[in-house]
Amino acid sequence: MSATPEKKAPKKSTPRTNMPVQPPFARIQNYLEVALGYSEADAQAEASRCIQCKKPSCRQGCPVEIDIKGFIGQLQKGDVPGAYKVLRAYNSLPSVCGRVCPQETQCEGMCILGKNPEKTGGAVAIGRLERFVADTFAARLAGGDAACLQITGEAACRMTHDELKVACIGAGPSSLTVAGYLASLGIKVTVYEALHEVGGVLVYGIPEFRLPKEIVRREVDAMRELGVEFKTNWVGGKAITVQELFDDGCKAVFIGVGAGLPQFMHVPGENNIGVFSANEYLTRVNLGRAYDFPNYDTPIFKADEVCVIGGGNVAMDAARTALRLGAKKVSIVYRRTKAEMPARLEELEHAIEEGVNLELLCAPLALNADENRRLASMTVQNMKLGEPDASGRRRPEPIEGDTREIPCQLAIIAVGTKPNPILLEATRGLALNKRGYIEANPETGETSIHNVFAGGDIVTGAATVISAMGAGRRAAKEIAKRLLGAEA
Amino acid sequence: MNYRILEKKVLIPGQTTLLVIDAPHVAKKAKPGNFVILRTSEKGERIPLTIADCDPDAGTVTIVFLVVGKSTAELNTFEEGQALHDFCGPLGRPTHIEKQGTVICVGGGTGVAAMHHIAKGHAAMGNHVVAIVGARNKDLLLFCNELGNFCPEVLIATDDGSQGHHGFVTEVLKQRLEEDKDVSEVVAIGPVPMMEAVSKVTKPFGVKTTVSLNAIMVDGIGMCGACRCTVGGETKFACVDGPEFDGHKVDFGELRLRLSQFRSQEQESMQLFQHKCHCGEGK
């Protein structure tokens, strides 16, 4: 008998479990979800790759600090409801985050298995597992306490504190998080949304092929069941003001109105026919279902050659949408290189697989029109990369005199957003920072006005769904503490 | 879905209709110059309409629309008691109203409805409001009686001369400006060519001229820039910066072009709707 003490058998190098996707030639013909999700066997295989670290670093990479080891541990035991319960304690929209979070720079970026992918097979696919758990759990739910289970993971929710009213302005990810959290504690929440549908960027921005509307509807319906009231067509600052909400008996107000105002480039020809902001283009298609025109009434502008300006996720969404609407050639026009693009790697790869063309190291100088002022081409300035700038990315510099022309009849501008002034102008005493966003305490989310909280893009500028949810969660915890005291 | 139609009045058969909508939270806040965005049905598009009147006590908002395409044609099929799917407002900056003397309000076509609300605001502030209303013929004139309730002067122009001045509103305006040097502001609401023509007329007189732009809109809350227009060389969003702007600074040519952006789809949608309606009649 060997005297060597028993050691844990080293994990074999099992590669990440692939997720089935619609093949590119098929998916650009439809608007259905591209990534199809894990089967039960896939999820088991992937969960078993997690080595359950003593000190898991993945958790530090998650903006809402999900107990990742915990939920995957439950999954390893085959306990989906158990895994869901862990997830839900940290994240109100797991089926959304599992789909749209940039995991490679967050949880998965910190996974120890990702440090040496040749030996380990790469980081655990945390996002895909989160999605599997949330989808599977939702599919198994039926009637009864379903809503309460979905939101809190508990079989029955606490009694309602009828006298404790909280209002959220805006119905995007941050407000939904606040509403879900507080409602699960029995607090009465009313959400005021300016558009006719609830979900913010989840319904007007992110396309169906990345995040099916059904998923958002499911989460929102669960909140309704819990007693959250959604008032659509109510514009914060116009139909209702923060002061009126307090006058009406609200104990706290959460502002989560996003940074919806699109930025333009201020180059000649920007108002020509065929030039759109990505917000308009995506809102028409996603919220207005213009991909199904004339069955739906909202029209969309179509063209054979399309240029999308920008390198973020919004640009990817717009480019892939244009392809699905029948464009023959779609180009992403970006002033740096592929390596500096802020878009998720997976989205960029999907876009390239689908045939999106990259026009790198160039910036638009002019949007040229034909004699009817319809867009015909774009003149771009060729660039080269110089020294790193404040963001750490190498600064693009124009190559003097080196320009070229790209033919296009549709240009979609996706170069970022600015804070929407409607609510800010209507709220006296609300302190803003230099960039025009709301100043909020990073610990509590409270603004310069007592018991008025804010979070998401209207505080940080355009960021991610999960960071908006993280902000919502912090604010909700603080509101609960103030309203319920020790009970929270 | 509780934006019920309390009253429907056909102002010009098959063309212009007035609806009184039950929308207390909009009525409570609506000011002259504001607009709403509505959707007729689940599959409908969002369309902007200027508020023609409101009654905060009754909780009602009055809108007037011209049947120009599918959405307005469908809206015209709605009867009293039916409800609109969505009704969002008040939107846009309200008209700047201050006590200033004589204000001339010019309205053309369905624009008279919006002009009526603004004129009412100016009159309530104590201004001397002169209304100039134009139409192709006397049967198409709108809101003349209502305007008479608070405007000491209601001047009419018809293209065929069947009532009032034989000709355009701009001719009446020009004459009025020549006779009265103390006009402090001219407000014009109507088709783009009419607002452009009014701005041309007032320019040499140096009179402040306010126009209400009817750009294409989607969200109406500043999120998309569909309604952008050039004013004094700068890009403005009509839904949040306007819809009212200085008529002497607006690039009307650009506005006209941008309004034509979706013309072919608009026609397709309308034809499909008319076809469906026609089929329905046989049942």
Portion 35-94 of B in contact with A at CB < 8 A: 39, 43-46, 70-71, 85-91
Q: Cβ separation of A271 and B228 shorter than 8 Å?
A: yes
Across the A:B interface, residue pairs with CB atoms under 8 Å apart total: 115
Which of helix, strand or coil describes residue A200? Answer: coil
Q: In what order do the strands lie in the sheet with A357-359?
A: A275-277, A410-413, A305-309, A329-333, A357-359
Q: What is the pLDDT along chain A (488 residues), one digit of tens a residue?
A: 444 444 454 455 789 999 999 999 999 999 999 999 999 999 999 999 999 999 999 999 998 889 999 999 999 999 998 999 899 888 888 899 999 998 988 999 999 999 988 888 899 999 999 999 999 987 666 544 556 666 666 656 665 777 899 999 999 999 999 998 898 888 999 999 999 999 999 999 999 999 999 999 988 888 888 889 999 999 999 999 999 999 999 999 999 999 888 999 999 999 999 999 999 999 999 999 999 999 999 999 999 999 999 999 999 999 999 999 999 999 999 999 998 898 988 899 999 999 999 999 999 999 999 998 999 999 999 999 998 888 777 889 999 999 999 999 999 999 999 998 889 989 999 999 999 999 999 999 999 999 999 999 999 998 889 999 999 999 999 999 999 886 65
DSSP A234: -
Q: How far B234 CA lies from chain A's nearest CA (Å)? A: 9
Q: Cβ separation of A238 and B45 shorter than 8 Å?
A: no
Q: What size, in residues, is chain B?
A: 283
In chain B, the DSSP E strands lie at 3-12, 16-22, 35-39, 47-55, 60-66, 83-84, 86-91, 102-108, 128-135, 153-158, 165-166, 183-189, 208-212, 228-231, 234-237, 244-246
Full-model pTM: 0.93
Q: Cβ separation of B86 and A240 shorter than 8 Å?
A: no
Give the chain B residue whose CA is nearest to the CA of A193.
Answer: B88
Chain B residues inside the 8 Å CB shell of A239: 25-26, 29, 88-90
d(CA A382, CA A67): 47
Q: Cβ separation of B223 and A262 shorter than 8 Å?
A: yes
Q: Cβ separation of B225 and A280 shorter than 8 Å?
A: yes
Q: How far B152 CA lies from chain A's nearest CA (Å)? A: 33
CB A101 within 8 A of CB A465: yes
Which of helix, strand or coil describes residue A442? Answer: coil
d(CA A88, CA A80): 12
Chain B residues inside the 8 Å CB shell of A288: 45-46, 218
Biggest CA–CA distance in chain B, Å, is 62
Among partner residues B91, B219, B265, which is closest to A283 by beta-carbon distance? B219
Chain A residues inside the 8 Å CB shell of B91: 235, 238
Among partner residues A196, A239, A276, which is closest to B86 by beta-carbon distance? A196
Q: How far A410 CA lies from chain B's nearest CA (Å)? A: 12
Q: What size, in residues, is chain A?
A: 488
Portion 185-244 of B in contact with A at CB < 8 A: 218-219, 221-226, 228-230, 235, 240
Q: How far A195 CA lies from chain B's nearest CA (Å)? A: 7
